[in-house]
Amino acid sequence: MKNKIAIFAESSKYGGISTYCVNLAYGLQLQGYDVVIICPIEDRVPNRWVIEQCVELNIKHKTFVFDKAFDLKVVKAINTYIREEGISILHTNGYRLNTIVKLCQLLSFKWRKHIMTIHGILPKGFLKNNKAKSFYRFNDLSAFMGSQIIAVSNFTKNSYSKQALICPKKIHTVYNAIRYDEIAPSIKSKELIQVSFVGRLEREKGIDFFCDIVSAFIDKYPLLNVRFNIYGTGKFEDDVNALQAKYPLKVIYHGFKAQASDMLLDADILIVPSVVETFGLVVLEAAQYGVVSIASKVGGLPEIIENNTNGILINYGDVFGFVESIYRLSTDKEQLSRLSLNTKLMTHRFTIKNMTKQTLEIYNK
């Protein structure tokens, strides 16, 4: 009999965690496993998106009302559900859910297999809130005490191993994936080169750096037929609106879009100017449409992009390097086509089948 699996999905922002949980549940379901996604009921875009995806893909899901971080009623409700459903593997994503599942384990006096996926590493001094700090300390302690751990990249694995003082052998790298059933034919203009930014409009994603790149490019090459598209929401929305007002014919701000095809179908180049990026799922989402990424050489991005083979890597902060790379690809269609083909081929490493197979091997340890 196959194990029953619960994947706990929570993310305060739309992005890699949300898609990771849906992709994994979808892959496990295709393999015949009884899997459920457990998700908070809160008015936050990622959680709504996860629930919508569960309905669309016919994935079983269960929601609980999370009013407080350490809500004992929620812990008891989850514990009762796990027991009644006969769930034997608990797979958590996000430090709050890691903590709540450990409390469930302690209260039930029954130690079910618990797998944690680490999606990000917070820089030192990032946490200002004492409640958040307590979650992270408990999270690191629970990881140290026995959970099997999945990291979304080798960079994340090595960084978390040092942060939480955990033996690297206990942490396993499993990359996120893309679903090939989502892919639609890309639509490219022969005349206009479309350059896109897709992500949260926050400093960690490098949106302020991207604005500098765009300004420098347009000022240096005003006559090139290049348009910049920006997708996302966040703290730097005013800066993006100001950039669009300054260059109304060259910059379009589209706001938030949940579907990759809405943002990438007609794009030629994706700019990923992140300060830190533990994996870089957006690079894979772009690659399936043949969109070539020019990205900061940080975090897990070099594990996806091979410089000048399936994309371009530039040191973070190098405005000139990004500007000239955009210029080179915009004016050399042969190079753009070669990188576009290679980036499509690269996506075959990051399949749901591979992701599911590697995760099941960890479940069975």
> What is the band of 248 on the pLDDT scale with cuts at 50, 70, 90?
very high
Averaged pLDDT for residues 6-35? 88
pLDDT of 24 above 90: yes
* pLDDT tens digits for range 158-207: 888 887 777 777 899 999 998 865 555 555 667 899 999 999 999 999 99
| DSSP-derived secondary structure for 205-231 | GTHHHHHHHHHHHHHH-TTS-EEEEEE
Helix (H, G, I), strand (E, B) or coil at 319: helix
> What is the band of 100 on the pLDDT scale with cuts at 50, 70, 90?
confident
Higher pLDDT, 142 or 245: 245
The proportion of the chain whose per-residue pLDDT surpasses 70, expressed as a percent, equals 85
Can you give the pLDDT at residue 189? 62
Can you give the pLDDT at residue 238? 97
How far is residue 98 from each of residues 75, 108, 208, 352, measured CA to CA in Å? 12, 16, 33, 24
What are the residue ranges spanned by the domains of the chain?
Answer: 4-177+350-363, 181-349
Helix (H, G, I), strand (E, B) or coil at 292: strand
* pLDDT tens digits for range 112-145: 888 999 887 765 554 555 555 555 565 666 665 5
Averaged pLDDT for residues 40-45? 64
Can you give the pLDDT at residue 94? 76
Averaged pLDDT for residues 62-86? 83
Can you give the pLDDT at residue 122? 60
Averaged pLDDT for residues 346-363? 94
pLDDT of 364 above 80: yes
Can you give the pLDDT at residue 181? 54
Averaged pLDDT for residues 7-18? 78
Q: Is the pTM of this model over 0.95?
A: no
pLDDT of 91 above 70: yes
pLDDT of 71 above 60: yes
Can you give the pLDDT at residue 187? 57
Same fold, 4-177+350-363 and 181-349: yes
Can you give the pLDDT at residue 98? 79
Can you give the pLDDT at residue 131? 52
* pLDDT tens digits for range 269-314: 999 999 989 999 999 999 999 999 999 999 999 999 999 999 999 9
Class of domain 4-177+350-363: alpha beta
pLDDT of 268 above 90: yes
For residue 14, the one-letter residue type is: Y
Can you give the pLDDT at residue 51? 87
> What is the band of 37 on the pLDDT scale with cuts at 50, 70, 90?
very high
For the chain, what is the radius of gyration of the CA atoms? 21
CA gap 58, 23 in Å, rounded: 12
Question: By C-alpha distance, which of 248, 249, 266, 268 is closest to 257?
Answer: 266
The average confidence (pLDDT) of the chain is 86
State the SS3 of 130-166: HHHHHHHHHHHHHHHHCCEEEECCHHHHHHHHHHHCC
- Classified by CATH at the fold level, domain 181-349 comes out as Rossmann fold (3.40.50)
